[in-house]
Amino acid sequence: MFYANVMSHFYRGELGRIMMWRQRLDVTTTWALTSTTTLFTVAFSFPAVPHLIFFFNLVVVTMMLWIEARRYRFYDAYRARVRMLEAHFIMPVVMQNTELLEGEWRKLIAQDLLLPSYKISWLEAVARRLKRNYVFVYVVILVGWTVKIVVHAPTGVPIGTLRAFYDLMAVGRLPSWPVAAVFIITVVAIVAMVVWLARRGDSEVHEFGERNRERWKI
193/152: higher pLDDT:
193
Residue 9 Cα distances to 17, 76, 96, 139, angstroms: 12, 20, 20, 43
Measure CA 44 to chain center: 27
- The 10s digit of each residue's pLDDT in 106-132 is 888 888 888 888 988 999 999 999 988
Residue pair 165/149 in contact by the 8 Å Cβ criterion: yes
Q: What is d(CA 74, CA 71) in angstroms, rounded to the nearest whole number?
A: 5
What is the pLDDT, as a whole number, of residue 67?
95
Residue-wise pLDDT for 138-159, tens only, equals 999 999 999 998 888 776 666 7
pLDDT (average), residues 74-92:
85
Task: Measure the CA–CA gap between 31 and 137, rounded to whole angstroms.
Answer: 12
Residue 193: phi and psi, rounded to 5, are -70, -40
The pLDDT confidence band at residue 68, using thresholds 50, 70 and 90, is very high
Q: What percent of the chain stands above pLDDT 90?
A: 37
The 10s digit of each residue's pLDDT in 54-66 is: 999 999 999 999 9
Full-model pTM: 0.83
Residue 79 to residue 207: CA distance in whole angstroms:
19
